[in-house]
Structure 1
Amino acid sequence: MSSLRSIKGKIRSVQKTHQVTKAMEAVSGVKMRKSQIAALMARPYSFAAFRILSRITRSVDIAHHPLVLVRPVNRVLLVVVTSDKGLAGGLNSGATKCALATLADRMVSRENTGVLAIGRKGEEFFSRRGYLLEKHIQTMKDESAISDFNGVVSLITDLFTNGKYDECVLVYTNFRSTFEQEPVSRILLPFSVEGLSTMIKGIVPERGAFAEANANIENDARGADYLFEPSPEVVFETLLPRLMSIQLHHAFLEAKASEHSARMVAMRNASDKASEVTFSLTREYNKARQSAITREMSEIIGGIEAMK
């Protein structure tokens, strides 16, 4: 009888876990769609800024600008975007592995690497391994504005222009579809038009409900020459920090959509596994119960036969 109670308790426990995972799956699905819509809603602004930058580069020689100048890479600043919470499968481990692979490709040692961690998981990973943390930013809120990243942009540009780092690399998880998230690395500084173009293209997923929203950036980037006031140089100086904020903002939104998508899939797998465990425990319970009934009946029949 104690075995039956134990199995029954396990069944109740697994059923409660199943209810929790189903609820988390539903919540993550809604949050994933909201994050994806937020990224798409901000895309026209990014696209317009990109067109302005493309026209400025035809009027101004930006090659010698401090934020565009390419230097030999000896020290690297990693801007790693991860989540604050777990239960998202291999999402965060994929981002951290991508960051380590980026350093390995550049043959940069741990002593010559700085980390700006956006998200608690990335901060914990790199701090445990002895990397220099320039700053840690928690990402508990799902909603964010481009202006929220102005402070981060100021810190990054100061570190780069002061010569402390020769390159700044942004590492985050790109949302490709509900079941596919890809960790990617983008060169944030020195700034390049090609890097911004690649990121804007990646805002629209390859598959899904929003796949048709993609546009041909190359064709729209070409256009007539414009007159800039007060000068193209001043417009470029004003536009560049905004473009970096756009890149960070979209990386954050992509990482959030990937986080909720990975968590939704993980919770769906957990729910399916809970259903399998419940079925297995129920069958085990029925077998034990039938065995107990059979044993009791045998004892009753044996007692009756002994009384004859």
Structure 2
Amino acid sequence: MPSLKEVRNRITSVNSTTQITKAMKMVSAAKLRRAQDAITQMRPYATKLNELISAVSANTEVGTASPYTQVRSVEKVLVIVVTSDRGLCGAFNANVVKATVAHINENYPAQLAKGNVEIMALGKKGGETLQKRGFKTNTEFMDIFQRLSFATARQAAEQAMAAFANGKYDVVEIVFNEFKNVATQIIRVEQMLPLVEKKDDNAKAANTDYIFEPSEEEIVLELMPKAIKMQLFKAVLESNASEHGARMTAMDKATDNANELLRNLKIEYNRSRQAAITKEILEIVGGAEALKGN
């Protein structure tokens, strides 16, 4: 049985840990509100932009002329992996890394064997882990969450778009956590390039007549790059909100576990203290009986 001093030290340590986890939960809750507002406002815009591109492309032949719609035989692959810069958020980062590795092994084993699969890491945790696992990793935008903005996400998207247009990659995909609620994040794998039209058989867009100003070509070729950049920025915002939700949940569970441990330690402390008192009483009684016998 541990001594009273050891148990007291453990109680003090657990109390300190509980205060830290409570503080981290509150910080994550405050950040989550802002991050959730940002992605909630972004989703309708991104969805409507994609719908507009699909609708216009379905009515015109201009979209096929874009370098971002060219479908080629897949020889070289770029996977954009969105994680966080910090840990203490449960399995948030591990799930993205696991999903990325599984996706590459399942869909691009031949390209991986030839060294034609490259990772663009957005977030330090994923970049560092995948580097250690031997993947070819671009870390230029690994610190994106330290300066999170559309301008930074646009730079990363433009680099991937230019490389795809120049034939460096034949397909570009994004792996990230989609925010559903505080306790739930869903791993998504989305194709970023080539841009694929999402056709809906029930949609009426294909039967809509459009008046183009200034011209079909200018509108479509202007909207396509913007939609691609918005897709990446949306994935980053989804991951950012998911990270704070995951950390909030992890810190809440850590606080509960610490409180449970604290209760058990207090019971153990009281038992140890009671045992020590009983031992002292027995020693006193034993001494008294020995003196009485003499």
Which range is displaced more, 74-83 or 20-29?
Answer: 20-29
The residue number in structure 2 matching 1:211 is none
The answer to whether the 8 Å contact 1:81/1:122 transfers is yes
Match of 1:237 in 2: 221
In 1, Cα distance between the equivalents of 2:277 and 2:22? 36
Corresponding residue for residue 119 of structure 1 = 123
User: 1:137-216 maps to which residues of 2 (within 5 A)?
Assistant: 137=141, 138-141=143-146, 144-194=148-198
Once the two structures are superposed, the pairs formed by residues 23-172 of structure 1 within 5 Å of their partners are 23-57=23-57, 58-106=59-107, 107=109, 108-109=111-112, 111-137=115-141, 138-141=143-146, 144-172=148-176
Q: Are the counterparts in 2 of residues 67 and 189 from structure 1 also a CA contact under 8 Å?
A: yes
AA in 1 matched with 2:196:
S
Q: For residues 149 and 241 of structure 1, what CA distance do their matches in structure 2 show? A: 13
Q: Does the aligned pair in 1 maintain the 2:39–2:234 contact within 8 Å?
A: yes
Query: Is the CA contact (8 Å cut-off) linking 2:144 and 2:152 kept in structure 1?
Result: no
- Structure 2 residue aligned with 1:209: none
- Could you tell me which runs of 5 or more consecutive residues in structure 2 were left unpaired when the two chains were aligned: none
Check whether the contact 2:154–2:233 (CA below 8 A) recurs between aligned residues.
Answer: no
- Residue 222 of structure 1, CA deviation: 6.3
Letter in 2 for 1:7: V
Deviation at 1:131, TM superposition (A): 2.0
Deviations 1:134-174 (A, max 9, x none): 34321334x84433322112211111111111100111011
2:24 & 2:281 partners in 1: Cα distance?
46
**Structure 1 Cα separation of the partners of residues 43 and 204 of structure 2:** 14
Runs of 4+ deviating beyond 6 Å: none
Q: Is the 8 A contact 1:79 1:117 kept in 2?
A: yes
Distance change (3 Å), C-alpha of 1:292 and 1:134: closer
Aligned to 1:204: none
Counterpart amino acid of 1:99? T
**AA paired with 1:238?**
E
Report deviation, 1:123.
1.0
Q: Which residue of 1 aligns with 2:235?
A: 251
Change (3 A) 1:303 1:68: same
Q: Percent identity?
A: 36
Q: Distance in 2 between matches of 1:219 and 1:80?
A: 32
Q: Could you tell me whether the CA contact under 8 Å between 1:119 and 1:136 is conserved in 2? A: no
CA distance in 1, matches of 2:117, 2:182: 33
CA distance in 1, matches of 2:244, 2:197: 30
In structure 2, how many angstroms separate the alpha carbons of the residues matched to 1:139 and 1:27?
A: 20
Compared CA separation, residues 298 and 123, structure 1 to 2 (3 A): same
- The number of residue pairs the alignment matches comes to 287
What runs of 5+ residues in structure 1 fail to find an aligned partner? 198-217
**What is the CA RMSD across the aligned residues, in angstroms?**
2.4
**TM-score w.r.t. length of structure 2:** 0.90
Secondary structure at 2:87 match in 1: coil
Q: Which amino acid in the other structure matches residue 140 of structure 1?
A: F
**Residue-by-residue CA offset, 1:252-295 (whole Å, 9 max, x unaligned):** 11111111111111111111111111111111111111111111
The answer (yes or no) to whether the contact 1:76–1:166 under 8 Å persists in 2 is yes
1:158-192 Cα offsets, whole Å, 9 max, x none, are 11111111100111011122222121110100002
* Alpha-carbon distance in structure 2 between the residues aligned to 1:186 and 1:35: 21
Matching residue of 1:201 = none
